[in-house]
Amino acid sequence: MPKVKTNSSAKKRFKLTGTGEIAFQKSFKRHILTKKSTKRKRALGLKGFVAPANRDFVMRLLRLK
């Protein structure tokens, strides 16, 4: 029986926190930052957390379930 592999793209994008939440880095903060407001850029710098509706799917990609 072959080993079941973890989804490689998912393991690069998601991280399990100490409290059990799944965190990710928000998009749109790489380039073309001059037209974005300071408030918006500051908010994009914070971690995002996977919604409960998508949690099971991401857990399955990471082989945590």
pLDDT of residue 65: 81
What range does the domain containing 54 cover? 8-61
DSSP 3: P
Look at residue 25 and give its three-state secondary structure. Answer: strand
Q: For every one of its 65 residues, what pLDDT tens digit does the chain have, with 9 covering 90 and above?
A: 888 899 999 999 999 999 999 999 999 999 999 999 999 999 999 999 999 999 999 999 999 98
The total domain count for the chain is: 1
Asked if residue 2 is part of any domain, the answer here is: no
Q: For residue 1, is it within any domain? A: no
pLDDT at 15: 96
Structure tokens at 38: 């300071």
Per-residue CA distances from 47 to 6, 17, 43 (Å): 22, 11, 9
Q: What is the CATH number of the domain that holds 31?
A: 4.10.410.60
C-beta neighbour count of 50 within 10 angstroms: 16
> Which pLDDT belongs to residue 4?
87
Answer whether residue 3 is part of any domain.
Answer: no
pLDDT on residue 11: 95
Predicted model pTM: 0.83
